[in-house]
Amino acid sequence: MQATFYGVRGSCPCAGDRYRRIGGNTSCVLVTIEGDLPLILDLGTGLRALGDVLGAELRAAGRPLRANALLTHLHFDHILGLPFFAPLHDPGAVMEIYGPRQDGTSLQDALHAAVQPPFFPVHMTEFRGEVRFHDADATDIAIGTAKVRARSVPHRGSTLGFRVEADGAVLAYVPDHQAPVDRRTVPEGVLELCEGADLLIHDAQYTDDEFVEKSDWGHSTVAYAVRVAAQSGVKRLLLFHHDPSHADRDLERLASAARRLEDARRLTDVSVAAEGLTVDLGRT
């Protein structure tokens, strides 16, 4: 199992020299499992670049897209890439999207409402490919050879985190997580997702000082991400969902400080997720 990062930013995409190394696209991670269809984590603006890569492979093979996607929630930074995902505009393409049911409506109806005029020039039903939706509230499902666990995570609105088990390896994905005010306790559902994971991709949007001003904005601090990983027995932590105000230099400094935390001693590695990074979880 491999994880390749196409979008690592939170809240909104960013451009410019300050973001050149880490990247400015919003949440999108490709999980590759031998013998399985592509598994995509979130549909942020990084999905457009992923579409370019997959599109070239599909054209060379002479076949349309078949892929699965796990969607944590419906905030703009996690869905903006969907209408720009080029493989979905090819006849015969199919993408299965698993995500949280919304209050009073289905995942399908909520996303259809977002991708239509006047918010976007065409309706999702006009795509040449087909998008199929699956409400996946706290549940365990099989996707190809992978065992996928979905659990509710504290955030603004209906939000899921995911645990993917395949080839004897475990990846946990918790990109948006409202830390408690004390930044010490970890919700049971989050512990269930992260327990013993080989790799945890976790919300690390704020510094401790920023959290004081934004303690109810739905996100975690770098230090809290380290605490979640340590309490869960995680091996490797990748800091994710970087704040738009945090340039490359800021993120390097935050990661360095995170490695010096007492909780970090229980981990094998704490690093910053960056566009283009591929992590090979291998087989265990």
Instruction: Write the pLDDT tens digit of every residue in 246-268.
Output: 999 999 999 999 999 999 999 99
Mean of the pLDDT values across residues 137-150? Answer: 94
pLDDT at 284: 41
* 209-243 confidence digits (pLDDT tens): 999 999 999 999 999 999 999 999 999 999 999 99
175-207 pLDDT per residue, tens: 999 999 888 899 999 999 999 999 999 999 999
**Residue burial 28-41, b: 16+ Cβ < 10 Å; e: rest:** bbbbebeebbbbbb
Residues 6+ apart with CB under 8 A from 34: 167
Residue 157: per-residue pLDDT: 87
pTM listed for this prediction = 0.96
Q: Which tokens hold the place of 204?
A: 């690390």
> What value does the mean pLDDT take over residues 100-104?
86
User: Minimal CA–CA distance to 27: which of 243, 183, 184?
Assistant: 243
Is the Cα torsion angle 67, 42, 27, 48 positive or negative in sign? positive
Q: Which residues pair with 174 in a beta bridge?
A: 202
Return all residues near 233 (Cβ < 8 A) that are at least 6 apart.
Answer: 195, 196, 266
Containing 95, the helix (H) or strand (E) segment is strand 94-99
Please name which of 77, 73, 75, 88 lies closest in space to residue 38, comparing C-alpha atoms. 88
The Cα 222–Cα 266 span in angstroms is: 16
DSSP state at residue 101: P
Domains and CATH numbers, the chain: 2-280 (3.60.15.10)
pLDDT of residue 238: 98
- The model's pLDDT over 62-99, given as tens digits with 9 standing for 90+, comes to 999 999 999 999 999 999 999 999 999 999 999 999 99
> What's the rounded Cα separation, in Å, for the pair 162 and 71?
9
Closest of 260, 248, 1, 246 to residue 144, by C-alpha: 1
Q: What pLDDT was estimated at residue 283? A: 57
Q: What is the mean pLDDT of the chain?
A: 95
